[in-house]
Structure 1
């Protein structure tokens, strides 16, 4: 009798231990997805700790008689964390939804697990979930397939090769022979209607004939140039004709041109030019780049009794933040006396991945600001902006990323920009043109400008702290291009206030406060265009590509030489 009683007590204790272990396992199940979501969405661990503690405690201590209390507390905790996440990333309620849905689903499983006949119920739930996922996966494949077939049937710009170095350049250029108007009507309008734009599209490629690998410091800038490499850069127009075909060589520092050492000789005045694809300039031979022309013109001159060296580092797609990071980790090693930053209108948008175009911006990254510092994070080089849906997708294992359900999730919550079907024109004004709009009603652009000014201020201070001078060269695109965008797409820019001088005024005010030089190009380009009886964009840029033509490089070198003379920096 005593033995039987002891056996019953032992069985009771064993049952309680089993129940406690089961509840602890439920808590662990809650914790793992919570940690995964936290890391995938970039939340701080500090906000995860109370959530994990609460989930584990409730999972172990809950009594079967009060499941509603368990559920209310756990969902309330998820809601608080989700609301905090929503404040950290406004406009992305998916963060809160992800937390609440995950924890609530696991809570339900946990309550069933602690109930009688839980194994049978869990088996039924597992079978139901598997069946539901199979149906959802099949439906997702059908939905994605129909969307891809319909998209393939519509005209669209030429496709790019899926390589990190490929770049699609879309530039709208005026067509004097165009007869159709953007808004065709049966009755003519009383005033002239702007001509329909012609989409001058070029598909650019960079093929490496000799690849020495990426620069070792490229992890700090997200991506960087190749070193000790030889490439062929070329662009084809819509008819397959070559727009340019150049031979490009990179030295051991990732620069175009001859080899250069970090150490500067005592009798050298060194100028370092930093920029994006305008400085990399794969469209022309090295001897035709503005930096090479400037170096040749300054070879017979001196700066404060010293001979002059011109170095240039540029990488396609870089924004101001990456250019600042480059100087901080690499550029300052060259001990420059003067640092010039080439600033183009897309640099502001390049500082916020929200404005990337799928297929055009082929590298996806984001910037993490930590106090007075910034670091760059590569998000799997996906071609979509890293919003919550994309960050969750990137955090999945490759096997799950290939699932149609995961791709449909991204397609629904983070769709790529659409293409307008009649003539293949993008369905929004390219973000680079927002720079000419006073307070554009576009979410995220104010943040992009704030990031740009943040980077310029820290770059100027870093250069000056190293004992060098700092200046910014603002590349003007041409007033006719700004007017064309405003006139061609009135339905997209209704109510916008355009100002061609706005970026120059903003940059000049900032650089004046930083005691740095500002070098505008508008007046110089426009004077040369008037003398040539043409427009700035036709004179300075390659129409299909949007970068400097050989003529544009020559004019820019002349402008910089004249500025150096006017400042008394060279003799």
Structure 2
């Protein structure tokens, strides 16, 4: 029998006491149903997806109670088999589409669904806008979402929302810092998926589906501290300069480096590939470019300072370029940013930002979502009812 020295016995007792305390604390957290919601799980095709059934408060930017439905969508529950007399739109996008910052009913997806239901074209029909948006997604992940998840819902129209501020970069393996995601790369001038992220240790760590509630508590404390620090040190500067983490000034300039030239080419080819696959399913394809905060800040002087600082001639360069891609390929593109800028100048309205962060930066607030949803609905309704086109905006 092993004989422990007194100091070893004391150390074992201390370790046992700490372990026992943690176990009791974990049990207590589970009994009171404490959780800091884990909204994402790893996925070996798309990198990460929403965790079905996850729910909880989102307060780091804006405030909303988030519910992920049984199919992993930030949406109400939908049946996959399309009901009769129903027009379905599948919405692809990133965090602007997922819209954790605002309540479900205030998202542009919900507003679009409601407004389209009032369109004469759909009188007597049910309209559904099913939200497949996931934070951080680029066009590559949206194509993979289309292939793996969308078609089981039999949509009539696929609406892809594109955030020029980072979606172009997201599509480039050489430019995108987050490598735990799928990319598309060229092999003999043909785009093929690259799933090498599956070998990344961070992805393998994220595959764990079971986690301690104590970990929730630690994550909440760390996140809270980080958020307060960011608000204190960074947000005021970001609002003044319109520089945001994760957004690219290079997107407003004609690309001169091989990396940015390839990023644009990949994006164009991905959009064409999505369009082709949608046509094969006899559905329609639309692209909507969203707004970046420097494009639609309601103070023209701040926008001008931003342009001068980065040598930008045209804040709408990326939007116009996506529009030209659509014109060449034959799919419609709606550019929201120019419309938002006119509205902001006329009404001195902030579309980006929240009281608990800063106005003028970040994601769309309720005002931004409302104008986006209404504008998309008017444009789509006008497309279906040509005589209404003159009143579209």
User: With structure 1 as the length reference, what TM-score do the two structures score?
Assistant: 0.48
Counterpart CA distance in 1 for 2:41 and 2:93 is 18
Query: CA 1:369–1:362 in structure 2 vs 1: closer, same or farther (change >3 Å)?
Result: closer
| Correspondent of 1:487 among 308, 318, 335 | 308
After superposition, the C-alpha distances for 1:551-571 in whole angstroms (9 at most, x for unaligned) are 100010110111012102699
Residues 82-481 of structure 1 mapped to structure 2, 5 A cutoff: 209=36, 214=41, 218-235=43-60, 243-301=61-119, 303=122, 306-345=125-164, 346-357=166-177, 361=178, 363=180, 366-370=183-187, 371-378=190-197, 379-380=199-200, 432-439=248-255, 441-477=256-292, 478=295
| Correspondent of 1:552 among 368, 371, 383 | 368
Is contact 1:272–1:336 with CA below 8 Å preserved after alignment?
A: yes
The answer to whether structure 1 residue 563 and structure 2 residue 383 are counterparts is no
Counterpart CA distance in 2 for 1:319 and 1:340 is 14
Counterpart CA distance in 1 for 2:314 and 2:261 is 16
Tell me which residue corresponds to 1:100: none
Query: CA 1:454–1:560 in structure 2 vs 1: closer, same or farther (change >3 Å)?
Result: same
Q: Deviation at 1:299?
A: 3.6
Number of aligned residue pairs: give it. 307
Q: Deviation at 1:335?
A: 0.9
CA RMSD of aligned residues (A): 3.5
Q: Deviation at 1:534?
A: 4.6
The answer to whether structure 1 residue 507 and structure 2 residue 322 are counterparts is yes
Query: CA 1:212–1:348 in structure 2 vs 1: closer, same or farther (change >3 Å)?
Result: closer
User: What secondary structure does 1:316 align onto?
Assistant: coil
Is contact 1:344–1:474 with CA below 8 Å preserved after alignment?
A: yes
Runs (5+) with no aligned partner, structure 2? 1-33, 204-236, 389-393
Is contact 1:324–1:459 with CA below 8 Å preserved after alignment?
A: yes
Is contact 1:276–1:317 with CA below 8 Å preserved after alignment?
A: yes
Tell me which residue corresponds to 2:5: none
User: With structure 2 as the length reference, what TM-score do the two structures score?
Assistant: 0.68
Counterpart CA distance in 2 for 1:226 and 1:334 is 19
| Correspondent of 2:337 among 522, 537, 549 | 522
Runs (5+) with no aligned partner, structure 1? 1-206, 236-242, 384-422
Q: Deviation at 1:508?
A: 1.6
Tell me which residue corresponds to 1:180: none
Counterpart CA distance in 1 for 2:251 and 2:40 is 35
Counterpart CA distance in 2 for 1:330 and 1:504 is 27
Is contact 2:351–2:360 with CA below 8 Å preserved after alignment?
A: no
